[in-house]
Structure formats: C-alpha cells, structure tokens
Structure 1
Amino acid sequence: MSGSALAVVLVIGGVVVAGVAWGIIALVRRQQYIKSLRERGWTFVNSPDFGAVARLTNPPFGLGFRRDPDDQISGRTASGRPFQVIEYKSERWKGWVAMVSLSRRLPELWVTGGETQVRYGVEATMVPPPPALGPGWQVGTLDPAYAAELLTPQVCNQLNGLAGGTTGLNLGIDADQLTVLDPPRKEVDQLGPWLEQLAAVADAIDATPLDHRVQPEQQPRFSFYHHPDWYWVDVDDSLLQGTPVSRSGHNHRTADVIRGRDGDGPPFVALTHHWQTTRTETSTDSEGRTTTRTVTENHSEAILGFQLPVRMPELTVAGRSFGRGISFESERFNDQFKVTSPSTKFAYDVIHPRQMEYLMATSPAPFRIADDWVWFSPGQHHETVIAHSSRFLREFLAGVPRFVWRDLGLADSPYPPLDAVTAPGGR
C-alpha cells in the first residue's frame, strides 16, 4: 500500500473512531439526563403517541398533515399542576414546547416579546400591551376585551418574572394549556424552577374572573387551527368510488383525507389521490441488440368536494380557455370566466350580476356542480386552499336566489346571507 493510500485509510479510520466515540458520549449523556428527570419524579417517554398533543389546536399545533411528537417529559409542579415538555415536529415547525394545565378552557391569547416572533400561522389581532407588562411586548387576541380581562397586573408581574428580566418569551393559551416555546429543557436544574414560574403564571390566570369566557370541551383528535369541525381521516379508499378521480393506471390510493365543515356551510371531503401508470420502453443499441424495460410513473392529484343538500343541474365555472361558454351581460366577466351548463336558464338564474361581481372579486379555483356535490380543482391539497374554497362556496351559495332553491324542492335557501361580509345576496 502506498503512503498516500495508507494516509487516507488512517484518516477515514480516525473519523469513524471519533464518530463512534461521540455517539457513545451522546448516549451516556442522554441516559444521565433521563435519569436526572426520573430522580425528580418526572416521567420520560421516548416516543409518545399522538394523544400527547391531540387536545392542542393552536400553533405550532393544529397545522399541517404531518405532526410528530417525540421526547416527552411530564409530571406535576410543586403545587400539583400537571405539566409536560415535549419535542414536536410538523411540516412547518420543529422544536420544544412546555405547557402547564389551566383550570378552565379559555380562548386563545398570545404574548411575545423582544426579538421573539409571533408563532407561524397565528391569526390574531395585535393589541397594545397593558402598562403592567412593560415595553417590548406584543399581545395577540381575537377579542381585545378578553385580553384586557386576562392580563391583570398580577398576571403581568408573573409574566415578567418568567421572562427573567428579558422579553424573550413566546407564550400562548391553548384551551386549558398554557404553552411556551423553547423552554430551558437542557439543564434539569434550570427546567424545574422555570416550570414553577410557569405554574405561577397559570395560578394568576386561574385567579382572574374569567368563568364567562370558558370554551366548550372539544373531542381530542387530529383537528385544525380555527376549524374545530375539521378532522383527520388519513386513508379512506372507498372514496375512490364516488369522487371524480383519474381512472387510468393502477395502485389507486388515498392519503391525507380530511372531512369537516365550517359553521353552517356544506360538509366537505378533501384528499390526495395517488396512482401509478406503467409503460414499456424498447431501445436498440448500435449493434442491433434490442432491450425492453418497464417504466413506472407516480401521479397524484388534489380532490376537494362539498356536499349540497339537494341535487342541482350541472354547472361549471372555470377560467377562460379555448372556446366560449355561456355569454353573460358583462363582457369583463366573459373575459375572465367560462361558464358551461346544459341548462342555460339555470346558469342565468345562478350567475346573476351580483354573483358575477363576487366571482370576479374572489377568483376561486375552477369548480363544477354535479348532482348534489360541488367539486373544485384546487391544484394542491392544503388547509388554506380548503378554507378559502369553503368560505367562497358558502357565500356563493348564499347568492343563489331563493326561487332557485324552491324550484329544486326546498322551502327556502339553506344558506342565508352571512353577516359582516359582503356576500352576493339573494332574492
């Protein structure tokens, strides 16, 4: 063996030995850490199931289709308040979250400070922090009056104490859990006192007169932020029989199936459809020898459908493409949309001037009414796409005139115009 080759072997061997040594050190440290947790009377679970976070729906929870809890530390504080510190990974976030239990289920509230960013996905109005909280803080809420009731001087004092003289704190209320991102979990001697301070914040919140703010109990399941009636199914291949999926190829299957509804809107089903196609390719080399190989390709499509309370004539609304659809009185609308239907009268009844204005203002994904379903072509399977289509369709259906619903056999419109939004209206 040459000198250079021997040197390479020695370098590689040294790297391998160093890697093994570092792995052993990391394993020993991990075991010592777990031992120190258990010596405090806490429980450590290496791979908790989804039930550990199933009741949590506010960010970082409640977002995405991939949600994986990992190392979990749980126990009780000195006052007997349950807590857990858990590693959590989703499609949009990875890190550690600490939480202690509150005595009541309360609306969401966010308190962040310093250079700490508001959590990804949070939908809240930022309001001025109370004077007792001090400068450098941000408060997010859906109801400013609720934030004023909760952030009493006592609660603010405890928050300042938890921050430890800085405002690098990211805290939120998720029903009956007080959650904080990035707790000091690496050193058990720091984590214990810090959890006691977090429990003191919870004590102060529990002491506020907020019984009139208590939220209803929700079923612990894979649910979605701000969509309490959505739920995760994951796989339901029976849906392939009744949905407008591509029928070509083989190995058809569903994934990421979601069912639900928003308020009094129509119920929906959303999923990703996967399938494969196979073809044979034949080639001839320079010597005239022929070879054949089989090529398998993977395909997927997003499916989103909303079920109506009654069968309706077919109607398709899509962007402009080759050819013209039914002509409406607005050339601007005709330039933007192509509407087709075997019943021109039905199309004119449903796509009236207010409906045209609404369609041009919202630019929905292409959709088709077929019997008692409305099928969208969303392009991707994502919560925001589902939510946008759900809101659009609810207002679109509110704009269908009452006489149309009556002609279809209903006593009145099942979707009255929504308040606080500009809906197409009805007549």
Structure 2
Amino acid sequence: MDFNPVLLVPIAFVVALGVFYLNHLAAKKRRELFAGFAAQQGWSYQPADDSLAHRWAGTPFRTGDNWRVKNVLSGAFDGRPMVAFDYSYQTHSTNSKGRRTTTTHKFGVVVLQLPGALPHLEVTHEGIFGGAVANVFGFGDLEFESDQFNRTFRVKADDERFGHAVVTPRMMELLLARGEIGWRIEGNSLIGWDQGAHEPAEVMNRLSLLQQVVAQVPPYVWKDYAGVDPRLQGPRHP
C-alpha cells in the first residue's frame, strides 16, 4: 500500500494544533501561578507589559527582536520597590539551503530599585570567553585579589575605581556562596537575570540575593557616587 504524501498536510496541521493547545494550557497555568503568588505577597500582577523591554539597555535586553515581557510582578521587597517578569526575544539564522530557523531565548528577570543612581557595573559568570581568552579579544574584566573569584566571575565597570569599591572581600564571599545569577547596576536599578523561566521560589531567592548585594555596598560609595546615605532612609515603597 502506497503512502499518499498529501496526508502529511492534515497530520502536520493536527500536530501543530495540538502543540499550540498544550502551549496555551501551559501559559494559562503559569499566569494563574504568578497571579496567585503576587496575591500572597501583596504585589500587583500583569499578564504582560512589553514596555519594560525598552527600559534597560544591557543583557539580556536590546538584542534580537520580538521582545516580550510576561507575568509581571511589582511591589515592594523588604521595603524596596521591585519588579520581576518573564522576558524573551528571538534570533534568526539561515542555513546553506536557505532554510530559516527562529530561536526563542527566555530569561527570568528581577529588578530592585536602588536608593540612588550609581555607575554601570556588571557581574556575570566566566564562560568560554573568560580569563585569558577574553583578554586576547579585548574583553578583559577587573581583577581582584581572590583567584577563585576571578576564575568564577567577570566584573565589568565603566569606572574601575568604583568596581573595586563595590566588589569588596565581603561581596566576593557573598557571590562565591550564592552568586547564581548575573546582575548589573544600571542607573538606579539593580537587575538580576538568568536563562530559562523562573519559578516563585526562585524569584524570592533572587530578590533576596540582590537585597544582600545592596546591603554590601559600602556607605561611602553611596555618598561619593550617588549623594545619598541609605542608612538614613526609611523603608521605601513603590
């Protein structure tokens, strides 16, 4: 019995419809999960707010296209304004046969508002372009007294003096113990991110880490670079 290739069309349609339906159910379940989580924490919840994709300039933003922000949580964490959300963008490639492939990149993002604006500083994990390889290609990072820290993290700062003032031995100890995400100071925002969708427990853990990062910044740094003293400020609310 010969197989009719025409039958592939309805079969492919049914499969695509099934995948769409399963994705729809998964997205609905995730919206319900985060809406309930927001209510428990006394936060606000929005299913989507793509305007947030334009608010910050560094990783993982401003690359690819079709920027999307979903499951937005906003409110206060330990008295400090915060926002957390699912972020995704797409990239495209074409193979030698002209076939175009689209890849969706997903991230979990958390942001804490800082007491004042500080210079740019980014701390990420060393990857395949870390260490000596990065230096050869002009992507060198700041070096610190801890060899373990230097092997584990990349620190980029517009102001080298500021970078060394923030990444103190106590900060390095904190990050070596639980620096599981990349983070960046961008103006008055402290942004943390990691690849893949995050869950409510991870949101809380990452916000806790960012709050500890804020607490480790020496008081003189806030005074010299932002003109504020967080020790004199009460709890902050959005």
TM-score by length of 2: 0.67
CA distance, structure 2, for counterparts of residue 304 and residue 369 of structure 1: 12
Q: Are the counterparts in 2 of residues 265 and 390 from structure 1 also a CA contact under 8 Å?
A: no
The runs of 4+ residues in structure 1 deviating greater than 4 Å are: 279-283
Q: Are the counterparts in 1 of residues 70 and 85 from structure 2 also a CA contact under 8 Å?
A: no
- Matching residue's letter, 1:392: L
CA distance, structure 2, for counterparts of residue 312 and residue 257 of structure 1: 25
Does structure 1 residue 346 correspond to structure 2 residue 162?
Answer: yes
5 Å matches for 1:229-240? 229-240=42-53
Q: Which has the higher contact order (CA 8 A, sep 6+)?
A: 2
Which of 388, 392, 400 is the aligned partner of 2:205?
388
CA distance, structure 2, for counterparts of residue 371 and residue 267 of structure 1: 15
Does structure 1 residue 369 correspond to structure 2 residue 185?
Answer: yes
CA distance, structure 1, for counterparts of residue 91 and residue 170 of structure 2: 43
Does structure 1 residue 259 correspond to structure 2 residue 65?
Answer: no
Q: Are the counterparts in 2 of residues 320 and 337 from structure 1 also a CA contact under 8 Å?
A: yes
Change beyond 3 A, Cα 1:271–1:329: same
- Matching residue's letter, 1:242: R
Which of 142, 148, 152 is the aligned partner of 1:336?
152
Change beyond 3 A, Cα 1:344–1:414: farther
- Matching residue's letter, 2:216: G
Shift of 1:315: 0.9
Does structure 1 residue 241 correspond to structure 2 residue 54?
Answer: yes
Q: Are the counterparts in 2 of residues 398 and 415 from structure 1 also a CA contact under 8 Å?
A: no
Shift of 1:394: 0.8
Partner of 1:399: 216
5 Å matches for 1:190-229? 222-224=35-37, 228-229=41-42
Does structure 1 residue 410 correspond to structure 2 residue 216?
Answer: no
The secondary structure found in structure 1 opposite 2:110 is strand
CA distance, structure 1, for counterparts of residue 82 and residue 180 of structure 2: 18
1:325-355 C-alpha deviation (Å, 9 max, x unpaired): 2122222222222212121211121111112
CA distance, structure 1, for counterparts of residue 177 and residue 96 of structure 2: 52
Partner of 1:271: 86
Change beyond 3 A, Cα 1:328–1:301: same
CA distance, structure 2, for counterparts of residue 350 and residue 334 of structure 1: 15
Percent pairwise identity = 25
Which of 98, 119, 135 is the aligned partner of 1:313?
119
CA distance, structure 1, for counterparts of residue 47 and residue 56 of structure 2: 16
Shift of 1:274: 4.2
5 Å matches for 1:128-139? none
Change beyond 3 A, Cα 1:224–1:255: same
Shift of 1:66: 3.7
- Kindly name which structure, 1 or 2, has the bigger radius of gyration based on alpha carbons: 1
Change beyond 3 A, Cα 1:236–1:66: closer
Structure with the bigger percentage of helix = 2
CA distance, structure 2, for counterparts of residue 406 and residue 282 of structure 1: 56
Change beyond 3 A, Cα 1:301–1:334: same
CA distance, structure 2, for counterparts of residue 355 and residue 281 of structure 1: 45
Structure 1, 309-318 or 298-307: larger mean CA deviation: 298-307
The secondary structure found in structure 1 opposite 2:188 is strand
CA distance, structure 2, for counterparts of residue 415 and residue 338 of structure 1: 32
- Matching residue's letter, 2:105: S
Shift of 1:313: 0.8
The secondary structure found in structure 2 opposite 1:356 is helix
Change beyond 3 A, Cα 1:367–1:227: farther
Change beyond 3 A, Cα 1:335–1:236: same
RMSD value, Cα: 2.9
Partner of 2:13: none
Shift of 1:262: 1.6
CA distance, structure 2, for counterparts of residue 231 and residue 239 of structure 1: 15
Shift of 1:308: 1.9
Partner of 2:17: none
Shift of 1:268: 2.1
TM-score by length of 1: 0.40
Structure 1, 343-352 or 372-381: larger mean CA deviation: 372-381
Does structure 1 residue 301 correspond to structure 2 residue 118?
Answer: no
1:295-334 C-alpha deviation (Å, 9 max, x unpaired): 3524132233332231111111112232352122222222
CA distance, structure 2, for counterparts of residue 320 and residue 340 of structure 1: 12
CA distance, structure 2, for counterparts of residue 271 and residue 312 of structure 1: 25
